[in-house]
Structure 1
Amino acid sequence: MNQVVQAVMKSKATTIDMDTFSIEDALDCMRAIYKVQYKTFVANVTTQVIERHLVRGLENIVSPLVVVKMSDSEVEAIASEQTTTKQQRIMLVSRVRILGEGLAIFQELIGS
């Protein structure tokens, strides 16, 4: 009788262990699925927020029809370079022109 009880108890222990194993396996699978779905959800929400709040209306800012309706000062404020950059560009172009003239003079003197 004692051996029968031990066999039944051993059978129950194996069943409980298999149940525990199955539950833990299912939980691991659910955690893996949740992790992937979480990343997908965050990516989708981020994309929607960017599209709704940052990109929407952009076509009205850069539209040729909107630019045509702007005053010259508005277009210049949007599209022109900074004053310091403009001055530096003018100075550098002048230097290039002067150096080019100097090179031409030098080549004339060397050539003759």
Structure 2
Amino acid sequence: MHSVLIADDDEEMRELLTFKLQNGYDVTAVSDGAECWNRLDTAADDLPDLVVLDVMMPGLNGYRVLDRMDGDDRFDDLEVIMLTSRGKEDDIVRALEAGATDYMTKPFSANELLARIKRVLE
């Protein structure tokens, strides 16, 4: 079973994503970018297969998490889908250039997110 790490500071969003993904994936959810980075940085050989990453979080935002991952060969095979309310072209390009696999804006279709996750992981 593929594993997914969700990083979003909105508790309702974490609960919704966990609910939607839990039947097909091993899901872990964290509430901010620092916790996401700590899990990734200390995961050693047990990295998730995918991170669903919000951009706007207190402290360490999603872009900074991507920046830390960029250039670190431990994360070469880690897929990242940005899921955020920031939908300007500059935001999307910045995330994709920093290594994000895909980018979706909120509000979003749960079915579309599931299809994107399936495409990325299979």
Using the size of structure 1 for normalisation, the TM-score is 0.16
Which protein is richer in helix relative to its size?
Answer: 1
